[in-house]
Copies of this chain bind each other. A is one copy, B any other.
Amino acid sequence: MTSPAPEQVFSEWHETLLRVRYSETDKMGIVYYANYLIWFEIGRTEFCRARGFSYRDMEENEDAFLVVAESYCRYKAPAYYDDELLVRTHLTELRRRSLRFGYEVVRVSDGQIISEGETGHVVTDASGRVRSFPEGYAQRLLGPAILKSQSAGEVVPTEEGPE
């Protein structure tokens, strides 16, 4: 009855804090650009935890890995050593065998948006073969609001269309 609109589901961001490490800077005095992808990965890990499961357990107990198929990052302002940053992560797509995350990195001190990005993932087993999400995990990724609507008989993860 009270199923949330998809916009609601995908607009819920999870936020995690981190502090820029000395090792993450380069000779320009700012954060080296590859490190943003590492922060996105921290965002994903904490997004899963906030949704009630540990990504480590999903790998180790369910033989399901979120292999990265694509990454995109737009660098909007430099980040500096010891800056406190908010990594904001949300789900932008969820299918039976793949998903996408969107990210924003914001500096806490001045609210400056540092970067925006996106990653696309395919679910595989340990040998790299594509598989679908283990039982219950897609639902957990969608969050508690959806769990309720699920019980009303709706199926939210979309079927993969022809590619």
Q: Which chain A residues have a beta carbon within 8 Å of chain B's beta carbons? A: 21-23, 25-30, 32-35, 37-38, 41-42, 45, 54-56, 65, 67-75, 78, 80-82, 128
Contacts and interface: CB of A to CB of B under 8 A. Distances in A.
The 10 closest A-B pairs by CB, nearest first: A34-B37, A25-B27, A56-B82, A33-B68, A34-B34, A23-B38, A27-B29, A72-B72, A71-B73, A25-B26
B45 A34 contact: no
Contacts of A21: 38, 41-42, 45
Q: Assembly of this chain: how many copies?
A: 4
Nearest to A73: B71
15 contacts: A21-B41, A23-B26, A23-B32, A23-B41, A27-B29, A27-B30, A27-B81, A33-B68, A37-B37, A45-B82, A55-B82, A56-B81, A69-B75, A70-B73, A71-B71
A55 B82 CA distance: 9
Contact of A34 (B26, B35, B75): B35
A70 B75 contact: yes
